[in-house]
Amino acid sequence: MHLQDISFRPTFNKWQGELCRGFFIHVIDPLLFHPYRLSLALLSAILAVHGRDFKWKNPPYEYEYKRLPID
C-alpha cells in the first residue's frame, strides 16, 4: 500500500471552492491489504496528532439523525 498526498477544490456541494487535502490509498497487493487494520491505524494516528481537538460530528449528519457518523 502507498499513500499519495492530494489537494483539490470541489466545484459543487458543501465544500465547493474550499481547498481540501487528503490522500489516495494505492493498494499494491490486494491480498496483503487489510482495510480494517488501515482504518484503525489511521484513526490512531489522527488521535495521536489531534487528540485534544478531535471529536465526532454530532447528528444530524447527511441522512442519519440519531447515530454518530462513525456508526
Question: Omega before 60 cis (within 30°)?
Answer: yes
The pTM of this model reads: 0.67
Asked whether residue 38 falls in the same domain as residue 71, the answer is yes
Q: Cα(46)–Cα(48) distance, rounded to whole angstroms?
A: 5
pLDDT of residue 14: 86
pLDDT of residue 1: 87
Contact 25, 39 (CB under 8 A): no
pLDDT of residue 64: 83
Asked whether residue 24 falls in the same domain as residue 38, the answer is no
The count of domains in the chain is 2
Asked whether residue 49 falls in the same domain as residue 19, the answer is no
Asked whether residue 14 falls in the same domain as residue 40, the answer is no
Q: Cα(60)–Cα(33) distance, rounded to whole angstroms?
A: 33
Mean pLDDT, 10 residues at a time, the chain of 71 residues: 94 93 94 95 94 87 83 76
Q: Cα(71)–Cα(67) distance, rounded to whole angstroms?
A: 6
